Chain A
């Protein structure tokens, strides 16, 4: 038995199931990060002192990471656009680049974290670091999640291209929407934690 509207759009809504599903999922993600940002505001406004981000954290490294993530969003779009043009080979290249950029982001993050740990700047040190580790840690988990899904579409999941290219293209688009969201969260995290 097949579920209708996984591949073709429903006429009165103009959408596939997956498209609605991913947007609903992102809505819940907005609430998740929204709650954490709200907590950040509440804790910061209630604090007697609050360090400026650039005195505690490494702004140049984070700038590099921002550039990496934005580039990965571009390659993600290119991967999807390649599929739309029917070019599976270029899709593989761009999708591979997206995954590698994500990996690069995590490597930079690893160096940031380990430098903090060496200085003894732990989550328990103060609430600035507590919210920093919680927000960036959760964001890092999302990066890993997005990379896993992308790796699946780059590797074993790509079999679907042969049997149902429209469906496969849609799936890559949905995974791309999630990846852009992860990117967008970072765009908010970077100024909030590092610059303000």
Chain B
């Protein structure tokens, strides 16, 4: 071959060479193995929504056992077979499978794929005016790693020996090491999911830094972009330690090592024959080193979505945008040094506990700053109460309840009586279910017109909202009462065998009926989601009269997203500018 001169002197080949490739892609490359961030985003979002439904179904099954312990589950019970529900009555082992997999699926296969994979992939490049993600093939690989991880998790339910993982989503050792084969599947599935998150995270960060449009400086970013940017750093740096821990647990299970098995471990009256010398607390440290930042991975994208929708529907700039951004960055940093507040009861020592309760109190400050800024943003706005806005507004008090009820858990002393009770379940579900999930629902209604070119039905949306809002509180509010009465969250009968729990047991029934009704109220959403693809009201590029760059692209955006090269001329939320001809002054209009 003829040797070119020094590469630095060689001009990049003209881009025309690439454009020859523009013939229509086949079905598989266009819709299944696509490298287009919009297709991947929708794939992620639909996968996430399906897993949310599946994880919720597992919980609806568990709620039967909690409300009516030992009673046969009508209809469904017989279908699940004698190894799980003999005569329709749930076995404790199956209950444990459901519990472990509910947590795993909701966190790693439901909320994260929808919040980060779905909204991050679809919205972030559009909002920064990029033609695609910076590494489209890695993006596709990230999605398919998620699918592999999801299939591994689902597959573990039907393997012949033992069924799915039973040791909780936290997979605490030594229980998880001596558990049945489902735990090995769980670990392998987690390694796929971690790989998926890592590939996604480095793509998001690179895209945000490199592919932002001309004029889009960091302080002109929509808050959603900042939220995804910080989230990506959390995923990038917090997940690898769990991968390391997962590899070590896999070694313990498969190669017979003793990383997490102490000497002289007794199981069912027999001393386990292992080398010993391992440290069970090590697993908890490594797990929570991921899982606390993970909590912020679950909530930050939601905060970003809510900020967009509140600015848009109050027709006002966000109040305190800069303080929100600084709080976000500080929050991201602090989230790495609070993990052991999950471990006050492990005997790790009071010095450690004192340190971690201090950092925990500190991290609540930036969360409160962001929430307060969002609430103050409402002040004096002429609010449009459309479906996305209703969900976004509901997010504020729900996340508020979740956050405030977390303070007693973050303090060492008050955590002791509340630890591992239903109070904890109620606390973090208020953050994640009516918190994050409401924000994500708001996002689905808000960006649906951009993805499909049609709006979802407002009537069905409002039914979905009202029902979900009431039911979420019916499900979780009683758990505070049950929890403060001291009922442990780990009981397979919901506390029925304990005398002290009798006065609060009826609340279990209330929660359960709340959960099933909540399930019914998702039907209008599912119907709306599909019906509107063909029958929704057709919209133009900017149906919400919004200011950020994604609304300058056609709906749905074509391959390459924008018709011209978008440019940012001002900050993201120039609503109701005095003297302007209309009440919004888009970032992308000169």
Contact = CB atoms under 8 A, between A and B. Distances in A.
Interface of A: 1-8, 10, 13, 15-17, 20-21, 24-25, 27-29, 31-36, 39, 42-43, 46-48, 83-89, 122-127, 130-131, 133-134, 138, 161-169
Interface of B: 1, 3-8, 10, 12-13, 15, 17-18, 131-136, 138, 198, 201-203, 205-206, 209-211, 236-241, 243-245, 247-248, 251, 255-259, 274-275, 277-279, 282, 285-286, 289, 559-560
B467 to A, nearest CB: 41
A41 B18 CA distance: 52
Nearest to B134: A17
A28 B15 contact: no
Contacts of B135: 3, 17, 21
23 contacts: A1-B18, A1-B559, A13-B210, A15-B210, A17-B134, A17-B206, A17-B211, A20-B206, A24-B205, A28-B239, A28-B240, A31-B238, A32-B241, A32-B243, A36-B248, A39-B248, A39-B282, A43-B279, A43-B282, A88-B3, A127-B257, A166-B12, A167-B12
A16 B12 CA distance: 13
A11 to B, nearest CB: 11
Contact of A166 (B10, B245, B282): B10
Nearest to B217: A12
Given A13-B209, A28-B198, A134-B248, A123 B257 contact: yes
A167 B7 CA distance: 9
Contacts, number: 171
A138 B279 CA distance: 21
Given A1-B559, A5-B210, A31-B240, 18 more contacts: A20-B209, A28-B201, A29-B240, A35-B243, A35-B244, A42-B282, A43-B282, A46-B277, A84-B8, A88-B3, A89-B3, A126-B277, A127-B258, A130-B258, A130-B259, A162-B1, A168-B7, A169-B7
A35 B559 CA distance: 41
B520 to A, nearest CB: 42
B1 A24 contact: no
A15 to B, nearest CB: 7
A130 B250 CA distance: 12
A20 B203 CA distance: 9
A75 to B, nearest CB: 19
Top 7 A-B pairs ranked by shortest CB distance? A124-B256, A35-B241, A130-B257, A32-B240, A35-B244, A31-B240, A24-B202
A179 to B, nearest CB: 18
Contacts of B275: 124-127, 130
A83 B455 CA distance: 53
Contact of A164 (B12, B138, B210, B286): B12
B258 A25 contact: no
Nearest to A43: B279
A91 B192 CA distance: 35
A12 B205 CA distance: 16
A32 B248 CA distance: 12
Contacts of A29: 240
A34 B361 CA distance: 27
B265 to A, nearest CB: 14
A106 to B, nearest CB: 19
A15 B5 CA distance: 23
Contacts of A89: 3
* Most chain A CB within a 10 A radius of its CB, from B15, B275, B560: B275
